[in-house]
Amino acid sequence: MIFAFCSLILFFSGSAFAVSNSPIHWGFKKARNEVPPEAGEYYDELLKKYDAFYKGSPDEKTVYLTFDNGYENGYTDKILDVLKKEKVPATFFVTGHYLESAPDLVKRMVEEGHIVGNHSWSHPDFTQLTDERIVQELDKVKEKTKELTGQKEMLFVRPPRGILSERTLKVSREAGYIHVLWSLAFVDWKTDQQQGWQYAYNEIMKQIHPGAVILLHTVSKDNADALEKAIVDIKKRGYTFKSLNDYLLKESLDNKNMIY
């Protein structure tokens, strides 16, 4: 009886402190009139706990441009040309498939000063994987990127399918990775439902806001065609494009206890 009672206490104690693996499908009401969107206090605190983020300071007209690269669809060269012309830094979150099928483009990203981030090797739902498998997915991308480009560090991860949980945040952070989510996005990845450059341009400009982390997919022709005008017009509104490394530097200066 005593043993059973103690076991029951341990069971409930362990459950009380267990890290949740309840899936979170990232998304919230879009920004309008240059007012940053809010995910809510719960998610703000959860992300902060693991140094993750989805937007920068609402007090500075700074934006961060990111792309998800699951596979190559013929538009990344054009995107890189625009970034080079406009002197805009970006982060490209790549998968294992992308690394194996488009190595020259990944090399070009790094050569031209962009960050290559981690989008997992096989694009699974992390909440369905063991801790060990999550780390394997991440580290395989990191090592292959280093082999191809010489980029030694890989700090940023974007969860495949936009699905995460407190457990996947914790496992990733303990493995040395920080989740980067987003505050500006739209349905742009459906290659059979492209709506023209004006659609992509309008979506970007409608949602732009101080501290925006912009998520675009490189498989989209609309994005490739709209990107230069969007960048030029965002700059005209007084915004500055900075890299995710700039974000971390600012955070580390603002919060001396943060270690990356």
Which positions are annotated as active-site residues? 68, 217
The helix (H) or strand (E) run that includes residue 110 is: helix 103-111
β-strand partners of 24: 164
**Other CB atoms within 10 Å distance of the CB of residue 72:** 18
Rounded to an integer, what distance in angstroms lies between the CA atom of residue 188 and that of residue 79?
15
Task: Confirm if 230 and 205 have CB atoms less than 8 A apart.
Answer: yes
| Spatial distance between the Cα atoms of 260 and 208, rounded to a whole number of angstroms | 28
In 10 A of CB 208, how many CB atoms? 20
Q: What is the DSSP letter of 210?
A: T
Instruction: Provide DSSP, 184-211.
Output: B--S---GGG---HHHHHHHHHHH--TT
Helices (H) and strands (E) in the chain — how many of each?
10, 9
> What's the burial of 42, exposed, middle or buried (CB within 10 Å: 0-12/13-18/19+)?
exposed
